[in-house]
Amino acid sequence: MISRITSYDQYKTAYERSLYDADNFWAEVAAGYHWRKMWDRVHSGGFEKVDYKWFEGARLNITVNCLDRHLESFADKTAIIWEPNDPDEAGRRLSYRELHREVCKFSNVLKQLGVTKGDTVCIYMPMIPELAVAMLACARVGAIHSIVFGGFSAQSLSGRIQDAECKLLITADGFYRGDKAVHLKNMADEALQDCPSIKNVIIYRRSNAEISIMAGRDLFWDQLMASASDQHEAEIMDAEDPLFILYTSGSTGKPKGVVHTTAGYMVYVGYTFLNVFQYREHEVYWCTADIGWITGHSYVVYGPLLNGATTLMYEGIPAYPDWSRWWKIISKYSVDIFYTAPTAIRSFQAQGEEHLQGADLSSLRLLGSVGEPINEEAWEWYHRQIGKEHCPIVDTWWQTETGGILITSLGGVTPAKPSFATLPFPGIEPVIVDTNGVLQNDLVAEGNLCIRRSWPGQARTVYKDHDRFIKTYFTTYRGMYFTGDGCRRDDDGFYRITGRVDDVIKVSGHRIGTAEVESAINEHPDVVESAVVPIPHEIKGEAIIAFVICRGENEATDQARAMQQLEHEVIQTVSKTVGPIAKPEKVYMVSGLPKTRSGKIMRRILRKIAEGHPDQTGDISTLLNPEIVDEIKRMVAASMPAK
Ligand code: WTA
């Protein structure tokens, strides 16, 4: 087993050593895992050529480390606690032995269907234990899983399946999110109309909804499992074999298929889980993220299981049947460690403390935050109302591309400070640069956040597009990984992440690219051009505002209604094309968009106006069409509530 850092001094020593003696540091961490063959080199390559590798030459299977390895010492320990959406439905518990057995059986199912090493498999499922079983079975047979969040639209699903050329889709008939039925299989059917690579679909029966079945292609989970053997020898993978693809939004173009590989990801995620959350043997850990996001991959499934932890999965939403549900879950299972997003904390704060009454939160030892900056007020509320002023809070900063947590405190071990992610994890060398790439070496500094050296959990490439990977992350600032985030360093050397400095929007912690939303809006037949920008939102952190140029003139009398109708349609188009999470909060119909002389839309100006700071648009005289700025200002001002 890997060892834990248990004091601030130990952290400082470990951190220093992780930089000056990096290879030995990581070799010692890695020695705590099970390897079929040890590595030839701990680390090679770098950011110049973007060819970094970790534990090259090693051979292993990550599921042996998540499952088989624990069977000797604690086979009967609960691996997964599952809480269904409906509080009246019975929950489930899977011990390590049972989870291992299910994964072995499903691995045999995959094998039988011809899925082999290097194949890509798409998973589009609700938050049920079978989602974890499906992903682990893929990893066990050496297939690359690509999990698509169940809230994404059919079109998003189909784009992701096509890009990764998935051979198999694993899904469910449907499920309930709160009191709303989600018809997953119908969406999958729609998506599969243009996915010729898919040979089979495996359907887990969750809602027993009526679904259509395509003979020869569609198969049922339970039938396949009924005859599958529970004996399965894990495929032995190379350290640098891809483990999974996860699509995420960036500044431009379609979502990118970020690729994580086997050994480095395993070592990093397991080690961060243990140290950040200071996990202890009998604790129950609950991360509220959906497995469809990186937080779910790394800290609902892989991180906890690598450490033999008990991880809780909840199928539903925070407000169902009412706002006391999460606290009841914590009481019911005596949760020790709770990890969630600031947007959820702010929602609870807004709902009032009465929902906490009657819930016993005394089991909680540690709280975590992830996904977006946490404002001081929310931090204080979390600390007081949930942590009862005795639970340390870890504010964990990281990204899909980083695989695991990079800047954070270690729960109760290193200092915390409201709204600061604080200090880098061992092995992480953050730097702050100005927009010209000049390093800001003073202790107190502000600018763009970059990372100067590789760490084991770092993404290796964008699926089948290494040039895009290089261009996106390694060309803005030479020799550095650019995070896309702005940050500040205070006189304690603590980092405070201030938010994205690129065209990425974080709505309720969900990462959405402006380009993606704009291209969805542009699919509406009446739309000529559009631009979307974020504005601060009290609960969601950020909300999306769209400025849209439409075709055709409307009769003056009908204009207001026609506009309303169009606004509604534009919002629906985004919901259908990307998914409901990307819906604009407000759509402005404008006759033009501010552009530079080279035709580039000045989103910065739109953003200032949408935020309610029309006086801060800066110099607009060099614009191609400065007159449009006044029109937009008037329109936005008219729609804002009077102060
Ligand atoms: C933001 C989520 C401030 C940040 C794990 C980053 C945060 C983006 C924090 C990645 C935090 C994540 N404080 N901002 N603790 N954690 N972010 O890929 O802007 O969905 O770049 O990964 O979320 O989002 P992603």
Structural domains in the chain plus CATH codes: 507-639 (3.30.300.30)
Residue 294 CB less than 6 A away from ligand 1: yes
In this structure, the residue with its CA closest to atom 13 of ligand 1 is 373
What are the pLDDT digits (tens) for 258-300? 999 999 999 999 999 999 999 999 999 999 999 999 999 999 9
Q: How far is the CA of 371 from the centre of ligand 1 (A)?
A: 4
**Sequential DSSP letters for 171-185:** EES-EEETTEEE-HH
Q: Which atom of ligand 1 is nearest to the CA of 293?
A: 20
pLDDT value, residue 301: 98
What are the pLDDT digits (tens) for 67-120? 999 999 999 999 999 999 999 999 999 999 999 999 999 999 999 999 999 999
Q: Which atom of ligand 1 is nearest to the CA of 421?
A: 15
Residue 541 CB less than 6 A away from ligand 1: no
643 band by pLDDT with thresholds 50, 70 and 90: low
Distance CA 348, CA 358 (A): 15
619 band by pLDDT with thresholds 50, 70 and 90: confident
Residue 205 buriedness (CB in 10 A; 0-12 / 13-18 / 19+): middle
Torsion angles phi and psi, residue 417, rounded to 5:
-150, 130
Under 8 Å between Cβ of 122 and 148: yes
47: amino acid identity, one letter: F
Under 8 Å between Cβ of 451 and 483: yes
Q: How far is the CA of 504 from the centre of ligand 1 (A)?
A: 11
Query: What is the distance in angstroms between the CA of the first residue and the CA of the last residue of the chain?
Result: 59
Distance CA 341, CA 344 (A): 6
Q: Which atom of ligand 1 is nearest to the CA of 400?
A: 18
User: What are 33's two structure tokens?
Assistant: 């895992």
What are the pLDDT digits (tens) for 506-524? 999 999 999 999 999 999 9
pLDDT value, residue 563: 82
318 cis-preceded (ω within 30 degrees of 0):
no
**Neighbouring-strand partners of residue 486:** 448, 499
- What are the DSSP E strand ranges found in 7-114? 41-44, 53-56, 59-60, 78-83, 92-95
Residue 250 CB less than 6 A away from ligand 1: no
pLDDT value, residue 639: 86
Q: How far is the CA of 435 from the centre of ligand 1 (A)?
A: 20
395 band by pLDDT with thresholds 50, 70 and 90: very high
**pLDDT average, residue stretch 144-156:** 95
Residue 484 CB less than 6 A away from ligand 1: yes
Q: Which atom of ligand 1 is nearest to the CA of 484?
A: 21
Quick one: which of 448, 120, 508 has its CA closest to 290?
508
pLDDT value, residue 554: 53
pLDDT at 327 over 70: yes
Residue 500 CB less than 6 A away from ligand 1: yes
Residue 52 CB less than 6 A away from ligand 1: no
Residue 171 CB less than 6 A away from ligand 1: no
Residue 172 buriedness (CB in 10 A; 0-12 / 13-18 / 19+): buried
Residue 506 CB less than 6 A away from ligand 1: yes
pLDDT at 22 over 90: yes
Higher pLDDT, 251 or 147: 147
In this structure, the residue with its CA closest to atom 6 of ligand 1 is 399
**pLDDT average, residue stretch 20-46:** 98
Quick one: which of 52, 57, 53, 99 has its CA closest to 74?
99
Residue 372 CB less than 6 A away from ligand 1: yes
Distance CA 327, CA 447 (A): 38
Distance CA 216, CA 212 (A): 13
Quick one: which of 307, 243, 249 has its CA closest to 276?
307
In this structure, the residue with its CA closest to atom 8 of ligand 1 is 399
Residue 512 CB less than 6 A away from ligand 1: no
Q: Which atom of ligand 1 is nearest to the CA of 373?
A: 3
120: amino acid identity, one letter: T
Under 8 Å between Cβ of 392 and 275: no
pLDDT value, residue 575: 95
Under 8 Å between Cβ of 33 and 49: no
Q: Which residue has the tokens 């650019």?
A: 482
Strands in 200-204's sheet, in edge-to-edge order, are 218-220, 200-204, 168-172, 120-124, 144-147, 242-248, 256-261, 461-462
Under 8 Å between Cβ of 577 and 255: no
pLDDT value, residue 556: 52
Using alpha carbons, list the distances in angstroms from residue 107 to 88, 134, 145, 535.
32, 8, 13, 46
Radius of gyration of the chain (CA): 24
**Sequential DSSP letters for 119-169:** -EEEEE--SSHHHHHHHHHHHHHTPEEEE--TTS-HHHHHHHHHHHT-SEE
Q: Which of 506, 507, 581 to mutate to test the pocket of ligand 1 (most atoms within 8 A of CB)?
A: 506
Bridging pattern class, strands 120-124 and 144-147: parallel
Quick one: which of 117, 115, 176 has its CA closest to 150?
176
In this structure, the residue with its CA closest to atom 5 of ligand 1 is 399
Distance CA 184, CA 301 (A): 22
In this structure, the residue with its CA closest to atom 11 of ligand 1 is 397
Residue 297 CB less than 6 A away from ligand 1: no
Q: How far is the CA of 584 from the centre of ligand 1 (A)?
A: 20
Distance from the Cα of residue 112 to its chain's centroid:
31
pLDDT at 450 over 60: yes
Q: Which atom of ligand 1 is nearest to the CA of 295?
A: 5
Helix (H) or strand (E) holding 26: helix 22-30
**pLDDT average, residue stretch 561-581:** 91
pLDDT at 245 over 90: yes
Residue 174 CB less than 6 A away from ligand 1: no
**Sequential DSSP letters for 627-641:** HHHHHHHHHHHHHSP
In this structure, the residue with its CA closest to atom 20 of ligand 1 is 511
Q: Which of 379, 494, 497 to mutate to test the pocket of ligand 1 (most atoms within 8 A of CB)?
A: 497
Q: How far is the CA of 216 from the centre of ligand 1 (A)?
A: 42
pLDDT value, residue 602: 92
In this structure, the residue with its CA closest to atom 22 of ligand 1 is 399
pLDDT value, residue 324: 96
Residue 502 CB less than 6 A away from ligand 1: no
Q: Is the pTM of this model over 0.95?
A: yes
Residue 343 CB less than 6 A away from ligand 1: no
Q: How far is the CA of 398 from the centre of ligand 1 (A)?
A: 5
pLDDT value, residue 622: 87
What are the pLDDT digits (tens) for 165-179? 999 999 999 999 999
Using DSSP's 3-state secondary structure scheme, residue 286 falls into strand
What are the pLDDT digits (tens) for 468-481? 999 999 999 999 99
**Neighbouring-strand partners of residue 83:** 314
Quick one: which of 194, 88, 202 has its CA closest to 143?
202
What are the pLDDT digits (tens) for 254-265? 999 999 999 999
**pLDDT average, residue stretch 525-530:** 94
pLDDT value, residue 253: 85
Distance CA 422, CA 419 (A): 9
Q: Which atom of ligand 1 is nearest to the CA of 396?
A: 15
Task: Report the percentage of the chain scoring pLDDT > 70.
Answer: 99
Q: How far is the CA of 89 from the centre of ligand 1 (A)?
A: 34
- The mean pLDDT of the chain is 95
Residue 485 CB less than 6 A away from ligand 1: yes
pLDDT value, residue 171: 98
Using DSSP's 3-state secondary structure scheme, residue 509 falls into coil
Distance CA 81, CA 333 (A): 9
What are the pLDDT digits (tens) for 340-364? 999 999 999 999 999 999 899 999 9
In this structure, the residue with its CA closest to atom 4 of ligand 1 is 372
Under 8 Å between Cβ of 235 and 141: yes
Residue 362 buriedness (CB in 10 A; 0-12 / 13-18 / 19+): exposed
Q: How far is the CA of 405 from the centre of ligand 1 (A)?
A: 10
pLDDT value, residue 557: 56
Task: Report the percentage of the chain scoring pLDDT > 90.
Answer: 93
Quick one: which of 518, 517, 545 has its CA closest to 530?
518
In this structure, the residue with its CA closest to atom 10 of ligand 1 is 399
Q: How many other CB atoms sit within 10 Å of the CB of residue 289?
A: 20
**Sequential DSSP letters for 371-439:** SSPPPHHHHHHIIIIITTTTS-EEEEB--GGGSS--B---TTTS--BTTB-BSBPTT--EEEE-TT--B
- Quickly list H helices, 243-372: 262-276, 294-296, 303-306, 325-333, 342-351
Q: Which atom of ligand 1 is nearest to the CA of 483?
A: 21
Residue 581 CB less than 6 A away from ligand 1: no
Q: Which of 397, 419, 498 to mutate to test the pocket of ligand 1 (most atoms within 8 A of CB)?
A: 397
What are the pLDDT digits (tens) for 358-387? 899 999 999 999 999 999 999 999 999 999
Residue 397 CB less than 6 A away from ligand 1: yes
